[in-house]
Amino acid sequence: MEIGLLLLRLAVGLSLAAHGTQKMFGWFGGPGLSATGQFFTVLGFPPGRRHALMAALGEALSGVLLAFGLATPAAAAIVISVMLVAVVTVHLSKGFFAQNGGYEYPFVLAVAALALAFMGPGSLSLDAIVGFERSGALWGIAALLAGLVGGGTALLEWRKAPLQQTATK
């Protein structure tokens, strides 16, 4: 079980960290902060650069924390928050499957992070080494609620872009 938790943390965490660095630095073929900021403005999050930086930092930070198994419930809450915003603003209208641009991938990342909050990071984690391994129903529910509040708060700032509003009329 410990190796399974480690593999799950590494896969989810490093994937998120890579996505965050794509947005922030343009690494791994990503757009970088300026282009991501323009996308966020079009998406309905002005000022786009600030919102892009927050999303990029959220993905990169939560990814690194999950990969190392450090502050796991907090990392899971950040993942849930960022993925909720991504699902609602970008992917939901495209259906479930990723091949159509749907919410399948961010949904799986959020659920995997939530599962780690419930199960804990395992003994092969920094949380375990420093004696702060937290898991169980209380921590999972706390991560879920914090993620929903964080994502919901970000969505309160969302203004559907004119292109999106025109397309729905």
Q: For residue 164, is pLDDT > 60? A: no
Contact 80, 95 (CB under 8 A): no
Share of the chain above pLDDT 70, in %: 95
- Mind listing the pLDDT tens digit for each residue in 107-146? 999 999 999 999 999 999 999 999 988 888 999 999 999 9
Share of the chain above pLDDT 90, in %: 89
Region 83-95: what's the mean pLDDT?
Answer: 96
Q: Identity (one letter) of the amino acid at 143?
A: A
Q: Annotate 30-79 with DSSP letters as a single string.
A: --HHHHHHHHHHHHT-SSHHHHHHHHHHHHHHHHHHHHHT-SHHHHHHHH
Query: Three-state SS for 146?
Result: helix
Entry pTM? 0.91
Q: For residue 56, is pLDDT > 70? A: yes
